[in-house]
Amino acid sequence: MSAPAAAAFRPPDASQVAAYLEAFPRRSPSAWAARAPLVLLLAVVAATLIAGFIDGPGATLLPWLALGAMVTGFVWLGRRNRDRLRLAAGVERVSELIARRHHASALRQAWMMLPATVRLPALHVRLVAAMGQALAGVRRYNAALRCYDDVVGDLQSDHPITVQIHIARALAQLHTEHLSDADDTLRRLRGSVDIEGHHPTAAAYATARLLQAIKTHHYADALDDLADSSTLNDDPWLKRLRPLGVEAGYAYGMLTLCYAELASRAEPDAAGGLWSAARRWWGRATLLLSGAAVTYRLPELRRWVEPGGELHDAATPNPFPPRGPTPAGATGLMSPASWSAVAPRGIVGTAAPEGGGVFS
C-alpha cells in the first residue's frame, strides 16, 4: 500500500488504520547494515594482505581498489544516516504540529512518512504514537486506540512517556465506551504512576480517573477521590491538576460536570452549594480554555453550559475570543515534561465523522 501525495486527506477510520499498520509493520533493522562499517574495514585489510602475496599489476591495484570501495561505502553510509536524520526531523515536525493543535496536518504527514520508517523501529513507534494523538485530536478514538494498541507492547514499562501513552490509551478506551478495558489500563498504571505527585503524569492520571467516573456516572466518587465533596474543598484539585497548564481547563470542565450532575439530583438545601461549586469550576475552565473547546471534548457538559443551561452565565469572559476553527483536543492530557511531546490542546478544523476515506 503506498500513500499517494494527495492534498485532500481525511482522517482514517479504525479499519483503515489497522490495515495500514499491518501493511507497514516495524521490522528489526538489518544486521548487515549495522555491521557495514566493520565489514568494509575487514574487506580492505583482507585485500591489502592478499596484495602482499601476489605479483603483477593486481598487487599494486588491489589495495587501492579496496580503499576506493571503502571510501564509497562510507559515503553511502553517511547518506543513509542523513536520510535517517531527515526522517527523525520529520517525526519531530509531526510532534510540533500536534503540539500546535494542527492535528489533521500532523496526521497526514505521519501517515505519509510511516512506510519510510519500517526499518527504524524507534521512529516507527514514535510516529504511530503521534498518529494516535492526532487521531484522538480529531475524535477518531477507535482509530487512535488501534495506534496505541500497536505501540504499547514495544514500550519500556515505567518510563514517563510510556505511562503517558497508557493514559492516552485509557482515555481513548473511555471515549469509545470500552469501560472495563479502561479500568484495567488505569488499574495497571496505579503502581507505576506516582499518583500523589504534582507533575503532569499524575495530573493526567487524575483526569483520566475523572473521565472514568463521568462515563460510569459515579460523580460523587470522582469528587471523593481527592477533595471532600461535602465541604466543597477544591484546593487539592487545583494542586493536582495545575501541572497540566491550560490543559487543566478540560479537567475543570469535568469537575463542573460532576458538581452539576450532583446538584441536579440533590435535595434543595444541598443543591445550592453544589451549583455554586459547579459555577466556580466552570469559571476556572473558561478562564483557561474557551467553552467550545471544553464541550467539544466533553459533550455531556453542553446541557449545563449552553444557552438555557444553569451554568450558561458562569463562564469567564475572554478578552481574546478564539480565532478561526474551534480549538479542542482529545488526548491533550498526555502532557509530558518534555517540550517536544507537549500536549495537543485542540484541533484545527471540525471533527470528521467516523468512517470515510484516508485520501479522497
Partner 1 sequence: MSDATPPASTSPTSASPPARAAGPRRTLPPFSAARLHRRLALDAAVRFAAVAAAVVASAVLLWLGGPAGTVLAVALVIGVLFGLNASAASALRMLPMLGPMTLVDPDAAEAALAAALRRRPLPGWVRLALVGRWAALRHRQRRFDESADAAQAVVAKLRRPLLPMRPQLLLLIAEARLETGHVDAAHAALAEVIQLPRDLQENLQHLALQTRYELAAGHAAWAVQHAGNRIAWAELMPAPLSATVHAMLATAADRTQHSRLASWLWARVELLAPPDAVAPLREGRWTGEPVVVPTLDLESGSPEVPQSGITDA
| Contacting residues toward partner 1, per CB under 8 A | 26, 28-30, 33-34, 44, 48-49, 51-52, 54-55, 59-60, 63-64, 66-67, 84-85, 88-89, 91-92, 95-96, 99-100, 120-123, 125-126, 129, 151, 154-157, 159, 161-162, 165, 200, 238-239, 242-246, 248, 284, 287-288, 316, 318-320, 323, 337-342, 345
- By the 10 Å C-beta count (0-12 exposed, 13-18 middle, 19+ buried), 27 is classed as exposed
Q: Least CB distance from residue 111 to partner 1, whole Å? A: 18
Cell numbers at 336, concatenated: 509530558
Cell numbers at 146, concatenated: 488501534
Between 154 and 177, CB nearer to partner 1: 154
Report the C-alpha gap between 306 and 286 in whole angstroms: 13
**Residues near 94 by beta carbon (within 8 Å), at least 6 away in sequence:** 106, 109, 110, 113, 127, 130, 134
Between 134 and 358, CB nearer to partner 1: 134
Q: Least CB distance from residue 122 to partner 1, whole Å? A: 5
Contact by Cβ (8 Å): 8, 358: no
Q: Least CB distance from residue 140 to partner 1, whole Å? A: 21
Q: Least CB distance from residue 250 to partner 1, whole Å? A: 13
Q: Least CB distance from residue 360 to partner 1, whole Å? A: 30
Q: Pick from 340, 339, 342, 335: which is nearest to 207 by CA?
A: 335
Between 120 and 314, CB nearer to partner 1: 120
Contact by Cβ (8 Å): 37, 163: no
Our CA dihedral for 119, 123, 127, 133, rounded to 10 degrees, sits at 150
Between 273 and 283, CB nearer to partner 1: 283
Cell numbers at 157, concatenated: 514499562
Between 178 and 332, CB nearer to partner 1: 332
Report the C-alpha gap between 47 and 316 in whole angstroms: 78
Q: Least CB distance from residue 323 to partner 1, whole Å? A: 8
Between 17 and 343, CB nearer to partner 1: 343
